Chains A and B, each alone.
Chain A
Amino acid sequence: MATGEQGPTAIELRDVDLSLGRGAARVHILRGVSLSIPEGQATGLVGPSGSGKSTLLMTMAGLERPDSGLVSVAGQDLGALDEDGLALFRGRHIGIVFQSFHLVPTMTARENVALPLELAGAPDAFARAGAELRNVGLGERMDHYPSQLSGGEQQRVAIARAVAPDPAILVADEPTGNLDETTGGSIVDLIFALRRERGATLVLVTHDLSLAAVCDRTVRLRAGRIEAAEPAVA
């Protein structure tokens, strides 16, 4: 396992290749990507549309399987897990924040946050979900349904849900993409604050250069390849 100056490696990708589609529609998206992300680091993935950053993020989260290469997260080779194994692994180790929030519309804020804990069999799922919601400033909105919350509030619920199982790795795909500037700013503050408090590794995809700038490192992709990593890590 590769290690860097910052400590043990949280995520390691080696020669990852990935194509999507069939026949003539097949597109080569990731081309020999190798990347090592140390524990606790905040990494921003940037690049133009179609460069492969969301796919790279999905590959790290075990949501997409590479055609070749190694993906190792928290010391686990994801290629060795089947679909259900990956689901369980995600539930324990990876929290995901989506651009479109993806809250379950028929569940209250508290139930949404409790969901991954319930799936993991936690007996105190609702108590912990309540604590997480208070932690993101939504103590008064726990029993509201997603449709009764603003976009910013929905994203806070999504973040609380992502961090509730206390994952070692937090991934976020354009977390401010659907929010106005002010709300987006507060969401960024929240994500970084939570990540600091828990010492989680954070990987986020963004078009927002100011958001990328607050990350410990920025990885720039172009046409499925890493164009630059600043600062570079061995």
Chain B
Amino acid sequence: MHAPVRPAPGTPSPAHPPRAAGFGLVLRLALRDLRGGLRGFGVFIACLALGVMAIAAVSSASRGLSEGLGREGRRILGGDAAFSLIHREPSPAERAFLERHGIVSVIATMRAMANAGEQGAALVEIKAVDDGYPGIGALATDPQAEPGPLLAERDGQFGGIADPVLLGRLGLKTGDLISIGSARIQLRAALVSEPDKIAAGVGFGPRLIVSQAALRASGLLQPGSLVRWTARVILPDPSDATLEALIAAAGREQAEAGWEIRSRVNAAPNFQRNIERFTQFLTLVGLTALLVGGVGVANAVGRFVEAKKLDFATLKALGASGGRVVAIHLAEVMLVAAIGIAIGLGLGAAAPFALGAALRDVLPLPFEPTLAPAELAIAALYGFLTALVFAILPLGRAHDVPVSALFRDRVEPDRRRPRWIYLAIFAAALAGLVGVALAFAYDRRIALLYIGVAGGVFVLLRLVAAVLMALARRAPRLRRPALRLALANIHRPGALTPSLVLSLGLGVALLSALAFIDVSLTRQLTSALPARAPSFFFLDIPNAQSAAFDRFVAAQRPDARLERVPMMRGRIVALNGVPAEKIAAGEQMAWVLEGDRGITYAATMPEGSRLASGEWWPQDYRGEPLVSFDARGIEGLGLKLGDTLTVNVLGRTITARIASFRDIEWRSLGINFVMVFSPNTFAGAPHTNLATMTMPEAAAPAADAALMRRLAVDFPSVTAVRVRDALEAVNVVVSQLATAIRGASSLAIAASLLVLAGALAAGQRARLYDAMILKTLGATRRFVLTSYVLEYAGIGVVSALFGLVAGAAAGWGVVTKVMRIDFVFDPTGAILAATAAVVVTVMFGLAGTVQILSKAPASHLRNL
């Protein structure tokens, strides 16, 4: 009846070498095991999906912006290359040089006051264009018309195209008249969009486009006026080689021009840098979501290993080595991870398209939603490495599951420490994760700081859990049974304490850090202001009118304190003879070498400065030119006392020796400069003045408006910047950034909630069993619930306290080290968040139990 199936004599033994069955078998068995479904992996998949989605969405959106900038570089720049000069127009020789290479169009930009008579005056960002404007792209106006006719002079009035914000601010409509200096401008159209907006950077005032003839007629072009002249060159052959040749020739043949050169490949370097910086920040927030989710991964894998012990033992009984058992189930776990990662990638890749569609009309940016395979691959890599980091140690326990588990219920407990091979894989995966975070970081210092803090928080939370369990274990025998049971639940084998402390502690730390950052930012932008900041900045005060200006302010605001200093714009062209573009500057000071900076001269040290090293020059100093530099230049630019610094000011190249370094209090919003020269350096050079007016008490907005109106009449070339308006403009930007940060952080908080809910749900069955046994033995519902509430609240309060402290520390780090503003210790928001977290934990913990407790135990006991 049973025919033997022994192989025929001479056939090879079935016992083939184990290597014959390798990765293919591992994968096959993993896939077979997955037929059992994804039960128990819900939180695992959701956690990975959430974290990967955050990273994929941020990096895809950033790529969309960068590609938009790259693709639109010519349009943004207004040409293939742009040559900017401060204070002066390109000379005929310089212009002739540029015209030899392509079509040249010049624009001039400056701040000025638009005076609308009785309707008031407002700061505007003027763009004075020539006939070649816009050159590339199109200017959209309402009504739509060519810029030439719109801006032309008619009957002594020049045309103007105004940002609708200006129209709204001064209550104007198209056809109305304003004056800019002594030029009368008729607003003939509203500005809808200008193709080259981003290259100019963020301005404090609304845009007003006029012709260069109008600008010249305004009388604002005085020696030393802060005007930026930009010549944009459109190459007949726009190849990269021609572009590079032009830039090389400009450096070679026009070295003395002192112009700042940008090409279409770096049309908006500051904007690009900000995108990268912000992308990194949001990526780190996304990584936080992923790491928090990693706790969910570890919990899920731990439960998976526990549930599959008999299957592991069976495999081992059938000849599988411990390593192969782990390999099969690692493959299975990574396949499940792939599902979560794929979901995250899908959502993350779609997010920029959704964002682009929703904000198409709002975004002033060349945002081109795009499928970014490299960024998605990095997000997937983050996901897989996180899954591996958190899964490998619990999975490694499968290696040593004894086969005797198949024969008896109770077996020897697992070995405490995972085998070295799994520790090595863990270490390698962790190193990979750190490596990826560092490799793709815009600012490695911040990435390192983040990694240190994240690692520290994880280790500390494990310690907190261990200490809490140890304390519960060593607690004296309590008289109240409910409390005794709660304590026992905190430290018993398989207690929820480690996973609850980890998820809740991380969640509260995040919430608390956000609350501290929020409150510090808000306080910085609002309450700190009146006491320290001036009310007005006045730019471009002609030197010849400075005394009259002083009298004007004294008459208008007798109680105001006026501080006035000479000001010029200049570019650093060399340090110690080394050209600026060849200097490897630190992240914090690189901006000093890029573009022009405000510079001044002074006989005495400016307020808000403290001498860090060196000496200040005597009042009547007459020697070689000296300069006092921002002390951050020591580290950021490698400067030391005695070094030389060459600047190009008004087309002149001046070399000065560093005599001192100053620690500067920038946040006072007072007047200060990175570079302050000895007065003799610029003796006789034309310049304007910069002034601040500080009031003992903030004036009413109407009084400020009246002052600006009178100023526009008496000093048409002086630009007044109301500090409150400027800060409000900054505030809007900061608020938008804060919203983005909150949005990304909410994913991390959602991940921690998921982990928390997952951990509590996993403990639910054991909890139910306990509850039924206790009820069977005579415990009331109140007793059972009280003990559970005490347990969850105990774990919750300890975790929340730690989270509060960790969050405050992280918030302090971000506020003082990254944002470089004052840290405000106002724990109200953080405490509220922590309290809410404890309440949520207790509610999650009791969910389900309350309902079950009201029923007879028998039905449940039968099912347990």
Tell me which residues from 117 to 145 in chain A have a Cβ below 8 Å from any Cβ of chain B. 117-123, 128, 131-132, 135-136
Please indicate the chain A residues that have their CB under 8 angstroms from the CB of B402 in the complex: 63-64
Nearest opposing residue in chain A for B14, CB measure: A122
How many angstroms from the CA of A168 to the CA of B320 in the assembled complex?
18
Q: In chain A, residues 179-213, which have Cβ atoms closer than 8 Å to a Cβ of chain B?
A: 190, 193-194, 197-198
Given known pairs A121-B20, A131-B5, the reply for A96 and B35 (CB within 8 Å) is no
B311 contacts the other chain (CB 8 A): yes
Chain B positions 163-207 with a Cβ under 8 Å from a chain A Cβ:
none
Interface segment among B141-149, B404-412, B636-644: the answer is B404-412
Is B323 a contact of A102 with CB atoms below 8 Å?
Answer: no
In B408-430, which residues have CB < 8 Å from any A CB?
A: 408, 412
Q: Which residues of the other chain, B, contact A117 by a CB distance below 8 angstroms? A: 14
A197 touches B4 (CB 8 A): yes
Contact of A105 with B15 at beta-carbon distance under 8 Å, contacts A87-B319, A136-B2, A190-B2 already known: no
**Which residues from chain A contact B29 at a C-beta distance below 8 Å?**
115, 118
**Cβ of A83 and Cβ of B318 under 8 Å apart?**
no
Asked whether A121 lies within 8 Å of B318 as measured between CB atoms, the reply is no
CB-CB under 8 A for A118 and B33, given A87-B319, A104-B314: no
Q: Does A5 sit within 8 A of B, measured CB to CB?
A: no
* Smallest beta-carbon distance A28→chain B, Å: 15
Q: Which residues of B contact A122 (CB under 8 A)?
A: 14, 16
* Pairwise interchain contact B319-A111, C-beta atoms closer than 8 A: no
Known: A58-B404, A128-B5. A102 touches B14 (CB 8 A): no
Identify which of B14, B36, B322 contacts A166 (C-beta below 8 A).
B14
Q: How long is the Cα–Cα vector from A119 to B15 in the complex, in angstroms?
A: 9
- Give every chain B residue within 8 A of A2 (Cβ-Cβ): none
A225 on the B face (CB < 8 A): no
Known contacts being A87-B320, A87-B322, A91-B318, is A166 close to B7, with CB within 8 Å? yes
Question: A54 at the A/B interface (Cβ < 8 Å)?
Answer: yes
- Contact residues in B for A161 (Cβ distance below 8 Å): 318
Are A116 and B319 in contact (CB-based, < 8 A)?
yes
Closest to A96 in B: B317
0/1 interface trace, chain A 10-36, chain B, CB 8 Å (1 if under): 000000000011000000000000000
Determine the chain A residues whose CB is within 8 A of the CB of B21 once the complex forms. 118-121
- In the complex, which of the residues A21, A84, A135, A164 contacts B3, with contact meaning CB atoms closer than 8 Å? A135
B18 close to A (CB within 8 Å):
yes
- Picked from B13, B319, B404, the residue with its CB within 8 Å of the CB of A88 is B319
User: Quick check: A102 and B314 within 8 Å, CB to CB?
Assistant: yes
B29 to chain A, nearest CB (A): 8
Residue pair B403, A63 in contact (C-beta under 8 Å) = yes
CB–CB A120/B32 < 8 A? no
Asked whether B316 is an interface residue with its Cβ less than 8 Å from the other chain, the reply is yes
| Cβ–Cβ contact A63 & B317, under 8 A | yes
Contact assessment for B321 and A84 in the assembled complex, using a CB-CB cutoff below 8 Å: yes
If A54-B407, A90-B319, A100-B406 touch, whether A120 touches B2 (CB-CB below 8 Å) is no
CB distance from B27 to the nearest CB of A (A): 12
Residues of B within 8 A of A123 (CB): 16
The answer to whether the Cβ of B831 comes within 8 Å of any Cβ in the partner chain is no
CA of A116 to CA of B639, assembled, Å: 72
B623 within 8 Å of A (CB atoms): no
**Chain B 313-338 per-residue mask, 1 if CB under 8 angstroms from chain A, else 0:** 11111111111100000000000000
The answer, yes or no, to whether A107 is at the interface (CB within 8 Å) is yes
CA distance A100 to B402 in the complex (A): 16
Contact string against A for B residues 531-565, beta-carbon threshold 8 Å, 1 for contact and 0 otherwise? 00000000000000000000000000000000000
What string of 1s and 0s marks CB contacts (under 8 Å) between A57-68 and chain B?
110010110000
| Chain A residues whose C-beta falls within 8 Å of the C-beta of B6 in the assembled complex | 166, 198
**Docked complex Cα distance between A107 and B6 (Å):** 24
Residue A220 at the chain B interface, CB threshold 8 Å = no
Does B404 contact A119, Cβ atoms closer than 8 Å? Answer: no
Q: Does A165 sit at the interface, judged by CB under 8 A?
A: yes
B5–A120 contact, CB under 8 A?
A: no
* Inter-subunit contact A115/B318 (CB<8 Å): yes
Does A106 have its Cβ within 8 Å of any Cβ on chain B?
yes
Contacts of B33 in A (CB 8 A): 104, 106-107
A173 within 8 A of B: yes
B683 CB-CB contact with A under 8 Å: no
Q: How far is the CA of A107 from the CA of B28 in the complex (A)?
A: 11
Q: Which B residues between 1 and 44 are near A, CB-CB below 8 angstroms?
A: 1-7, 13-21, 25, 28-29, 32-36
The answer for the CA separation of A83 and B316 in the assembled complex, in Å, is: 10
Given known contacts A63-B402, A63-B404, A166-B14, A105 and B36 CB-to-CB distance under 8 angstroms: yes
**A165 and B2 contacting across the interface, CB-CB below 8 Å:** no
The answer to whether B14 and A87 touch across the interface, beta carbons within 8 angstroms, is: no
Given the known inter-chain contacts A83-B322, A88-B321, please indicate yes or no for A165 contacting B407, CB distance below 8 A. no
Contacts of B412 in A (CB 8 A): 20-21
Contacts A63-B317, A121-B17 known; A194 to B408 CB distance under 8 Å? no
Instruction: Tell me whether A111 and B32 are in contact (CB under 8 A).
Output: yes
Q: A106-B35, A106-B36 are in contact. Are A116 and B318 (CB under 8 A)?
A: yes
Within the complex, the shortest CB–CB distance from A115 to chain B, in Å, comes to: 6
- B310 contacts the other chain (Cβ, under 8 Å)? yes
| Chain B contacts for A120, CB-based, 8 A | 14-16, 18, 21, 319
Closest to B324 in A: A119
* Contacting residue for A102 out of B1, B15, B34, B406, CB 8 A: B406
| A222 in the interface (beta carbon within 8 A) | no
The residue of chain B having its C-beta at the shortest distance from the C-beta of A163 within the complex is: B5
**B residues near A136, Cβ cutoff 8 Å:** 2
Task: Give the contacts of A45-64 with B (CB-CB under 8 A).
Answer: 54, 57-58, 61, 63-64
Q: How far is the CA of A116 from the CA of B321 in the complex (A)?
A: 12
A184 to chain B, nearest CB (A): 18
**Complex: A20 Cα to B412 Cα, angstroms:** 8
The winner among A57, A91, A111, A128 for most chain B CB atoms within 10 A is: A91
Of the candidates A58, A61, A83, A92, the one whose C-beta lies within 8 Å of that of B15 is: A92
Is the pair B2, A193 in contact by a Cβ cutoff of 8 Å?
Answer: yes
Does B32 lie within 8 Å of A107, measured CB to CB? yes
Complex contacts, B32 vs chain A, CB 8 Å: 104, 106-107, 111
Nearest B residue to A197 via CB reads B4
| Most chain A CB inside 10 Å of its own CB: which residue of B15, B32, B408 | B15
Nearest CB of B to A117, in Å: 6
Specify which of B1, B13, B323, B407 lies most central, judged by the most chain A CB atoms within 10 Å of its CB: B407
Residue in B7, B311, B320, B406 whose beta carbon sits within 8 Å of that of A119 in the complex: B320
Q: Provide the A63-90 mask, 1 if CB < 8 A to any CB of B, else 0.
A: 1100000000000000000011001101
List of B residues within 8 angstroms of A119 by Cβ: 18, 21, 25, 315, 318-320, 324
Is there contact, CB below 8 Å, between A135 and B2?
Answer: yes
User: Which of A98, A116, A166, A193 makes the CB contact (< 8 A) with B406?
Assistant: A98
- In the bound complex, CA of A96 to CA of B319 (Å): 11
- Distance (whole angstroms) from the CB of A29 to the closest CB of chain B: 11
- Which residues on the B side are within 8 Å of A83 (C-beta)? 321-322
Docked Cα-Cα span, A167 to B838, in Å, equals: 59
In the bound complex, CA of A106 to CA of B31 (Å): 10
Q: List the A residue with the shortest CB-CB distance to B407.
A: A54
In the complex, what distance in Å separates the CA atom of A105 from the CA atom of B308? Answer: 11
Closest CB-CB distance, B310 to chain A, in whole Å? 6
A87-B322, A98-B406, A119-B21 known; A106-B3 Cβ under 8 A: no
Q: What residues of B have a CB within 8 angstroms of the CB of A194 in the complex?
A: 2
Chain B residue nearest to A59 (CB atoms) is B404
CA distance A107 to B328 in the complex (A): 14
Interface residues of A (CB under 8 A from B): 20-21, 54, 57-58, 61, 63-64, 83-84, 87-88, 90-92, 96, 98, 100, 102-107, 111, 115-123, 128, 131-132, 135-136, 161, 164-166, 173, 190, 193-194, 197-198
A-B CB contact pairs (8 Å), 21 listed: A58-B404, A63-B317, A63-B404, A83-B321, A87-B320, A87-B322, A91-B15, A100-B406, A102-B314, A102-B317, A104-B32, A106-B36, A107-B32, A107-B35, A117-B14, A120-B15, A123-B16, A135-B5, A165-B15, A190-B2, A194-B2
Closest 4 CB pairs of A and B: A91-B319, A121-B20, A121-B16, A92-B15
